[in-house]
Every structure is written in structure tokens, then in C-alpha cells.
Amino acid sequence: MPKIYHERLVNAKEMVKKAHAGKYAIGHFNINNLEWTKSILEAAQASNTPTIIATSEGAVKYMGGVKTIVGMVNGLLEELNITIPVSLHLDHGQSVEMAKKCIEAGYSSIMFDGSHLPYEENKQKTKEVVEFAKQYEVSVEAEIGSIGGEEDGVVGQGELGDPTEAQEFSTLGIDMLAAGIGNIHGKYPEWWTSLSFETLEKLQTASKMPMVLHGGSGIPQNQVEKAISLGISKINVNTELQLAFRDATRKYIEEKKDLDDKTKGFDPRKLLKPGADAIKATFLELTGWFGSQGKAK
């Protein structure tokens, strides 16, 4: 079967494979609306950075469904003349049905997160997603164990990944693997100190494949760079962009620019611009850490 997704999209397989070999990481940036998506795509194009844009299931509901998201992304890719590799990815897909729905709508990459299921069921359903996705040249990310913190209202303490499970999942045909290494979704609490690099080394030795760092927002630069050197090839970012957007928007409002009727400071295009610019700046800062700038063909 031919691939369904837009000709300007790519799946993430080659992206993360090259990153793994080159010891850098691809940035995965969750999108929440038009401004988010446009800002990330423009910054990625300007910096020649291969990029993954992603939606959680919560964001899918908020933005009006997968067809709405695919239509917006495809339109932006054409109108902005985006030529760098971009993948549209489902983040933390909780069911086989959701994964298939996104593929059929035009996503080019899928995460099936069966970490909430018994291990054997997670493995079986991951295989089912892989078999379906490969028919359409869609890349697949899987997860073993669970990542700590909050994701779409689900809170967990997280656990360290099991190397035996990592080795078994590496044989299922997936393109990248997420596993807990002390990382947490959302803002990192004060008691958090470090990623478990010992665990990461064991997981990498067992799986020998590109690994994914979820909860990438807030981890110190030196730890990010060390994780990349040990096999992390994709880093997920959401909270950091949200905080940058919030801070820039708050500053605009606190300076009462939205109350300036003469300049129409209340116009959403002006009201949201500082936040959109902050997203671009944060994207460029983080992809600098990741080493992915300039890596597009």
C-alpha cells in the first residue's frame, strides 16, 4: 500500500537513525494550535533542522480532531514552503485504534504507548501497530515501563526501564524506543537530581537502537548532552515551550499593550506574537543543545 501522508512529510525512521549514528538528537515538539505549529516550522526551516511535530491525544481533542490537524499542518508545509524533513507524530497513543486513525488521516509517525498495559499485551499490541504502520511507510515508537510525571492528566511516579524488555521490543520492527531513565513529564520537582545514565547505558546495550527521552523540558544541558552521547536520538519537548509562551504573553499583558486601542493591541495577531516569537527562540536554543541544527539535507 502507498503512504497516505503529504509528500512534504517524512516518517521519522531515517531522521532518528541518522541522529543515532551521528550522536545528536531530533527535537520532538508538541503543538497546541496554529501559532505553535507555524512558529516551530518557520524556526526549523530557517535553521535547517529536521523536526518532529507531535500531538498528544488531549491536543487532538482540543484542536478539533486528527483531520483538522493534518489539514492545518499540510497547508502550512505548502504555504510556508517547508523543505526540511518534518514528521507529524502521534505522542502517547493509548490504543491501536487511535494509532490507525492517525495513520489513515495522514500522520507520518506514531507512538503506541502500551506501558499502562501488562507487558505481554503491550508487546502484542505494539506488533499489531507496527504491522499496520509499515504498510503505509509510517514510523513507530514504543514504550516499556512508564515515564514519571503528568501527561494529559495522568500522573505517574515512573520506573526505570528493563534491559530485557528493551531487547525484546527491539525485535518487533519499531524505529525508536522510549523507556524510563529517571525522566519526568512536566516541570521537574525540586527533589529531582539526575537522569540514570547507568540505566540508559544498559538499555542501549540491550536494544542497540535510537532511544527517546520523554520529559525533555527542564533537564540541564550537560545531562541532555550526555544522554545523547549514550544513545538518546529523539527528545520530547512540550512544557518548556508552554512556559516560554506563557512568560512572553504575561509580559505583553503586564505592560498593558493589549489595552492600547490606538495600536489595536487586543488584536489576537499582536497579542499572540510575543508568545510565538518565544517559541521560536526556545526551539533554537534547545535544538542547539541537541546538535540537530543544520542537519537537514
Question: Catalytic positions, please?
Answer: 91
Q: How far, in Å, CA of 252 to CA of 259, rounded?
A: 10
Q: Among residues 214, 286, 209, which one has the least CA distance to residue 244?
A: 286
Q: CB atoms < 10 A from the CB of 82, how many?
A: 18
SS3 63: coil
**To which H or E segment does residue 7 belong?**
none
Q: What are the grid coordinates assigned to 58, written together?
A: 488531549
160: which DSSP letter?
A: P
Find the helix packing angle between 96-105 and 66-79, rounded to 10°. Answer: 40
Q: Among residues 21, 11, 10, which one has the least CA distance to residue 210?
A: 21
Long-range contacts of 113-119 (CB under 8 A, 24+ apart): 113/142, 113/143, 113/178, 114/142, 114/143, 115/143, 115/144, 115/145, 115/146, 115/147, 116/146, 119/144, 119/165
SS3 26: strand
